[in-house]
Amino acid sequence: MTQMLREEVRERLGNIDQIRDIIFGAQIREYETRFGKLESDISHLQQEMPSHVEQLKLSFTAELKAGFEILEKKLKLFNFNREEEATDLRLSVDRLNRKFSSCIQSLDEELDSQTKSIREDISQTKVQLEEEVLALRDLVLEEIERHFSNLRHSKVSKDDMAEILFALGMRLKENEFIPMLREAADDNSKINSVKLLRNQEKLSELLTHSNGSLETNS
């Protein structure tokens, strides 16, 4: 008897999948769009990082080469009687070489760490959003099932049921989950920009300090 009543109600209301799509289909599409944007952002960041690191390495190499050339020219001008001063200059070159090698290695490690952290943040955000979407779907289905159950005791017209579903859809649209999703995506983008800017500032400081060392030795 209950099964027949449910089938009769579903025939009156139409396909349950269509009702579900009307209620929160737009939200799911919005989530999928945001997921796509998050994945596109991390992919774009991963593509830019190697190029940026390569440019920094080329800049370091050019600075090192210029510094070595200056020091080599000075070494050639020194008299053999100034061997002690020449030794100091060679040691200075070695120190600079070790310093830049260490800086490049630290930069690579930091970029790798940041990339891993960004991937974990994106993955965690995606899982959390998917869980909330599933919870929202279950909530809607439970609400619809509850109304179906109430039909055993009272006869509800199609217009009344449509009004109930419309009110339920409006309640879902007023949910602040989508703004929270957008805010989370914007925060991730800002964090990535700040990290990249900090790396650029560190590299600029290193170059300035190295140029000062070369001018002092010259």
For residue 9, is it within any domain? no
User: Is 191 part of any domain?
Assistant: yes
Asked if the structure places residue 41 within a domain, the reply is: yes
CATH of the domain at 111: 1.20.1270
Residues contacting 86, CB < 8 A, separation 6+: 75, 78
Q: Is residue 4 part of a domain?
A: no
Task: Write out the residue range of the structural domain in which residue 48 sits.
Answer: 16-217
Question: Residue by residue, what is the 3-state secondary structure of 180-216?
Answer: HHHHHHHHHHHHHHHHHHHHHHHHHHHHHHHHHHHHH
Q: 71-121 pLDDT, tens per residue?
A: 787 777 766 657 777 677 788 888 888 888 888 788 888 888 888 888 888
Report field, pTM of the whole predicted structure over 0.75:
no
Number of domains in the chain: 1
Assess if residue 44 is contained within a domain: yes
pLDDT of 26 above 80 = no
Residues 24, 11: Cα–Cα separation, whole Å: 21
